[in-house]
């Protein structure tokens, strides 16, 4: 996806600051010790009652992270004035409540910076175009589901895919926010086949099983959209919602040169919206903040449909092409993979749905690096994620080094911690 494609990330230890900081506790004061008193020297010892503690919670949000973000916001937005007044306001709010609330402008700026900081994303040239939906007032499962479907409609935009993030309520002291259980707002279910193997997408098997336990009736089809599961609080039974047809645009796959390709009856959804990551801005964590860019063709053609632990279609395509599969030296996998990617790019173009090819997107990423360099900013990038999975050596992103990845860089989209 033009944001970043997900892999398993090492979880941050529960209760630990993701920055590795030990945050000072706001509002603490020295313990009031006993005093010695009496009517006269040598009189009875009387212990004065301890003063009641100040009713201020420990800092749930690291004030240093909050201060860093406020300074960056005002530095990159000169029209906002100096950071002093807002900085004092934020630190006072953290001292009183343990956290603070972003202004709408800070929220939008922080979400866009999280995209700009995404070291595994090749599509960061467009970070300023991100549409930020401020939905922090919503916390019920019904409201979250309704607005997730609206997110998909807005992002689909008749096929001209728009990058969108929908930000729901943040975690607050003693009040963890609701979570979306799904990895993506749209994904296909996977079902074990009676004779072994899989029907559908094995990556969706675990969620499909959980949805069935909740009462979802599945049809066992190879491209069956999973329901959306929303969990309002830890230990609560998730609510599930069928994704409306008008919210999940799908593209049927054909090939410009091979009519038989349509007989495979393949399709893929248009909007890759990640929904299981936390958006962290200035120390405030938004665990429900689904976001999308648009697909790069290789994500579907070289990974989702080709990987052995996904749809695993290379052998089927090679057989239809009449390729010699008796030896790896015939490069039948490579040839089948290219034709599969040709079909994906062709089909999305014919359907009028936004999709990038890996050669064009590589050139655009280098433009992004050049722009950031002119502004005096580094562009951390993970080479293993930036280089496409098809013809990597033919793209300009292959033959160079990048600024090192900084795990502490914020704002960021992060692996979500458990409840």
Phi, psi torsion values for 239, nearest 5 degrees: -90, 145
**Which residues lie closer than 8 Å to 146 by C-beta, 6 or more apart?**
none
Q: How many angstroms separate the CA atoms of 226 and 190, rounded? A: 9
Q: Is 267 a catalytic residue?
A: no
Burial class for 13, CB neighbours closer than 10 Å (0-12, 13-18, 19+)? exposed
Helical H runs in 164-308? 205-214, 297-298
Q: Is 124 a catalytic residue?
A: yes
Task: Please tell me which residue in 294, 332, 339, 416 is annotated as part of the active site.
Answer: 294
Q: How many angstroms separate the CA atoms of 367 and 375, rounded? A: 13
- Tokens found for residue 84: 């002093």
Burial class for 409, CB neighbours closer than 10 Å (0-12, 13-18, 19+)? middle
Task: Please tell me which residue in 121, 136, 198, 285 is annotated as part of the active site.
Answer: 121
Task: Please tell me which residue in 5, 112, 116, 124 is annotated as part of the active site.
Answer: 124
Specify the DSSP element, H or E, that contains 240: strand 239-241
Task: Please tell me which residue in 224, 239, 280, 299 is annotated as part of the active site.
Answer: 299
Peptide bond into 411 cis (omega under 30): yes
Helical H runs in 157-219? 205-214
Q: Is 121 a catalytic residue?
A: yes
Short-list 234, 274, 206, 237, CA closest to 415: 274
Q: Please, what sign has the CA dihedral across residues 241, 242, 243, 245?
A: negative
Is residue 311 within 8 Å of 188, Cβ to Cβ?
A: no
Q: Is 268 a catalytic residue?
A: no
Radius of gyration of the chain (CA): 26
Which positions are annotated as active-site residues?
121, 124, 294, 299
């Amino acid at each position: 996806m033009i944001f970043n494609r997900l892999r398993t990330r090492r979880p941050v230890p529960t209760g630990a600051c993701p920055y590795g900081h030990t945050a000072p506790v706001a509002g603490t004061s020295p313990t009031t010790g006993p005093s010695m008193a009496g009517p006269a020297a040598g009189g009875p010892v009387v212990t004065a009652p301890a003063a009641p503690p100040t009713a201020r919670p420990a800092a749930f949000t690291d004030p240093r992270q909050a201060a860093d973000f406020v300074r960056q916001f005002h530095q990159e937005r000169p029209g906002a004035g100096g950071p002093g007044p807002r900085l004092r306001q934020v630190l006072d709010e953290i001292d009183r409540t343990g956290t603070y609330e972003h202004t709408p402008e800070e929220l939008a700026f922080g979400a866009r910076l999280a995209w700009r900081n995404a070291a595994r994303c090749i599509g960061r040239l467009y970070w300023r175009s991100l549409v930020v939906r401020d939905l922090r007032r919503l916390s019920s499962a019904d409201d979250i589901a309704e607005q997730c479907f609206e997110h998909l409609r807005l992002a689909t935009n008749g096929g001209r895919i728009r990058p969108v993030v929908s930000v729901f309520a943040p975690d607050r002291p003693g009040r963890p926010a609701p979570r979306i259980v799904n990895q993506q707002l749209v994904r296909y279910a996977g079902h074990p086949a009676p004779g072994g193997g899989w029907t559908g997408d094995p990556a969706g098997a675990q969620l499909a099983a959980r949805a069935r336990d909740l009462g979802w009736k599945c049809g066992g089809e190879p491209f069956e959209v999973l329901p959306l599961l929303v969990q309002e609080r830890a230990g609560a039974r998730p609510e599930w919602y069928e994704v409306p047809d008008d919210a999940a645009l799908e593209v049927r796959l054909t090939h410009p040169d091979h009519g038989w390709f349509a007989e495979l009856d393949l399709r893929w959804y248009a909007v890759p919206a990640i929904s299981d990551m936390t958006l962290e801005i200035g120390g405030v964590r938004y665990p429900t903040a689904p976001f999308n860019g648009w697909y790069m063709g290789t994500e579907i053609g070289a990974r989702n449909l080709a990987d052995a632990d996904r749809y695993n279609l290379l052998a089927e395509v090679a057989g239809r092409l009449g390729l010699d599969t008796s030896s790896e030296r015939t490069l039948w996998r490579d040839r089948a993979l290219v034709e599969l990617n040709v079909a994906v790019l062709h089909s999305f173009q014919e359907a009028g749905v936004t999709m990038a090819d890996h050669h064009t997107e590589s050139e655009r990423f280098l433009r992004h690096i050049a722009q950031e360099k002119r502004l005096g900013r580094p562009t951390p990038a993970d080479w293993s994620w930036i280089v496409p999975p098809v013809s990597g050596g033919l793209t300009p992103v292959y033959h160079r080094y990048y600024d090192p990845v900084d795990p502490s860089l914020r704002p960021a989209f992060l692996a979500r911690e458990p409840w």
